[in-house]
Structure 1
Amino acid sequence: MKKILLAVLTMALAMTMIAGCSKEEKKNNSETETENVEKSGMSVGMTVQDLSNQIWSSSCEALKGLVEADGGSMTYLDCGNNASKQIEQVENFISNDVDVIVIHPVDVNAVEQVLSDAREAGIKVYSWDENLENADIVWLIDNYELGKIIGEQAAKWINDVHDGVCEVAVLDYPQIPILLERGNGIVDALKENAPKATIVAKTSAINPTEGMTKMETIFQANPDVQVVACIGGGGAVGANEAIKAAGKLTDKIGVFAADATEQELEAIKNNEANRMSVLITGDGDAIAKEIYGWLEKLVAGESVEKEVYRTTFTVTTENIDEYYK
């Protein structure tokens, strides 16, 4: 009888151990499956020139949301317009073995070698705004022509509101070659379309802080400036704030730029100094959506055209309701 009881207990213990192992195995399998799901999306490293620029920061955050929604991971960094720092950031992305690098280059020549290293490591490279040799896709704007659009719109205001004669300030950013091209386009279009206007000041400003401080300085030397043409929305937002702070906001002063950031569109809607901005591709969400579509194709190994040109839309007081609700 004791032998029978011992056999029963032994069998019960064995069954319990088997069940426990089965549960543990299922738990481990479940954890592995969860880990695989979490790692099923792409890993992205992104470095941009300056996150104080609203269109760049909003695009980065929106892209991060899209990547993470598909189970991936993304890190985006501000290099502070410093090429050496940007190279270091790319090197870290390579060390972390990301699937794709998105770069808004500060200095094209400076980053070519490190991006070549990235591609040799099997990492895809997406270049925002610069036609890099070591990139799988270059997402481009004809920056000289974009500058001409800004200059033409500013000239139209000069001719319509000031009978072709007024003082003009240009906020450019020649430190970056593509923005140098854009600034040249602005100046050439102003000279061609409003030849009697006078450019009395030309200085660099890429974010709202620089735009405001530079505009304040311009007003000290040239209090009669009535038109400000800017290479981007950051400087334009700052210029608008400086104009309001100086008590110079009238129906004759105008700021013209590109990017069509939310702050610019709000100012246009409210009839402030911002009168026109060129929307490039769309807002941050639209930009992120387009970039993510290309990244999916790159990571999947699909064949893509290297050069992709962006679309532009001119936003003014006449059509602001289409772009800002």
Structure 2
Amino acid sequence: MKNFKSVFVLTAVLFALVSLTGMASAQEFSVGMTVQDLSNQIWAATATELEELVEADGGEFTAVDCKSNAAQQVSQIENFIASGVDVMIVHPAEKNAVEEPLKRAMEQGIKVYSWDEKLENSDMNWVIDNYELGRMIGRHAAEWINEKLGGETQVGVLTYPQIQILKQRGDGIVDAINEYAPDAEIVAKSSAINPVEGIAKTETFLQQYPDMKVIAAIGGGGAVGANEAVKAAGKLTDDFGIFAADATDQELEAMVNNEANRMSVLITGDAEKMASVIYGYIQKLLNDEEVPQNVYRELIPVTQENVDQYYNGQE
């Protein structure tokens, strides 16, 4: 009888172990993410936070950088299809280039999450009204010009027309400055999506236009570089202003230190918040739950007046 009980208990234990192993296997999943540029702080930090969330649930996460090259991104998408990922997060470098490979991905049962672009071949698009975001940046720049500079100054714009949605953002900046500070003069435009480009382009601005007092940028990467260039050139004064989007830690730290970064639009939240929102939708996609096709992100202007709500200093 004892032997029978022992065998029964052992069998039960083995069955439980097999069941638990099966449950773990069922929970395993893989997520592939292709990003425009991982030298951009907010995008890179969000990818890092996503990796932690996915791996904490037993999944595998891979993020790759296409360096804003559409052909390279298509190749990365093809690699994700070949590896059989369950979900693909795509931050398109060029909308039309990714539609066809993403169609093939969906035909193979891969869930597609588009970050920052309205795609036809996706399960969900997490998007921004980029023209209105640009206008928000431009309005804050115009208010600074009117309040600090008597309505007149030379303005530089760091845009990025290589990517359509960022071109829309740049157009919004220009239109709002022209509308709300009509006596200001936009004397220079150039492309900058990361700090290295922001430094180089701002150095050129300031050499050509030493009286420039305002720079408006489509993103935090260029804005961080612009701030460093302004300081290095000895141009940091109480009336010099840089206005942008992303509200990266570097931008917010500069605000706290009363440097040239005066306003940046926080989009959804910090990297941790963004990753949490993205992962919440990924879980819904994995569970075949219904999600909206287009979800618009919240836009929150951060200035010296409210920066303490969004920046807690370096760890």
Same fold (TM over 0.5): yes
**Alpha-carbon deviation of 1:217?**
1.0
Runs of 4+ in 1 over 3 A off after TM superposition: 28-36
CA deviations on 1:144-190 (whole Å, 9 max, x unpaired) are 00000000000000000000001100000000000000000000000
Q: Please tell me the residue identity of whatever aligns with 2:294.
A: E
For 2:301 and 2:96, the matched residues in 1 are separated by: 32
**Alpha-carbon deviation of 1:41?**
3.5
1:297 paired to 2:284: yes
Q: Please tell me the residue identity of whatever aligns with 1:46.
A: M
Counterpart of 1:157 (choices 130, 137, 144) is 144
User: Hey, what does 2:248 align to over in structure 1?
Assistant: 261
User: Hey, what does 1:85 align to over in structure 2?
Assistant: 72
**Alpha-carbon deviation of 1:29?**
8.5
User: Hey, what does 2:222 align to over in structure 1?
Assistant: 235
1:47 paired to 2:37: no
**Alpha-carbon deviation of 1:42?**
2.7
User: Hey, what does 1:310 align to over in structure 2?
Assistant: 297
Counterpart of 1:210 (choices 172, 180, 197) is 197
User: Hey, what does 1:249 align to over in structure 2?
Assistant: 236
Alignment of 1:214-225 (within 5 A): 214-225=201-212
Contact 1:41 1:67 in 2 (8 A): no
For 2:227 and 2:96, the matched residues in 1 are separated by: 35
User: Hey, what does 1:124 align to over in structure 2?
Assistant: 111
For 2:25 and 2:250, the matched residues in 1 are separated by: 36
For 2:273 and 2:93, the matched residues in 1 are separated by: 23
1:102 paired to 2:89: yes
CA RMSD of aligned residues (A): 1.8
Contact 1:127 1:135 in 2 (8 A): yes
Alignment of 1:5-44 (within 5 A): 26=14, 30=17, 33-34=20-21, 37=24, 40-44=27-31
In the alignment, structure 1 segments of 5+ residues that lack a partner are: 1-14
Contact 1:129 1:139 in 2 (8 A): yes
Q: Please tell me the residue identity of whatever aligns with 1:310.
A: R
State which drifts further: 53-62 or 28-37.
28-37
In the alignment, structure 2 segments of 5+ residues that lack a partner are: none
Contact 1:39 1:72 in 2 (8 A): no
For 1:89 and 1:155, the matched residues in 2 are separated by: 41
**Alpha-carbon deviation of 1:322?**
0.8
1:278 paired to 2:295: no
1:68 paired to 2:68: no
CA deviations on 1:73-102 (whole Å, 9 max, x unpaired) are 110000011111111111111111111100
Q: Please tell me the residue identity of whatever aligns with 2:104.
A: D
Larger radius of gyration: 1
Q: Please tell me the residue identity of whatever aligns with 1:249.
A: L
Q: Please tell me the residue identity of whatever aligns with 1:306.
A: Q
How many residue pairs end up in the alignment? 305
**Alpha-carbon deviation of 1:33?**
4.6
For 1:30 and 1:43, the matched residues in 2 are separated by: 24
TM-score (normalised: structure 1): 0.90
Identity of aligned residues (%): 59
For 2:282 and 2:101, the matched residues in 1 are separated by: 20
For 1:57 and 1:312, the matched residues in 2 are separated by: 20
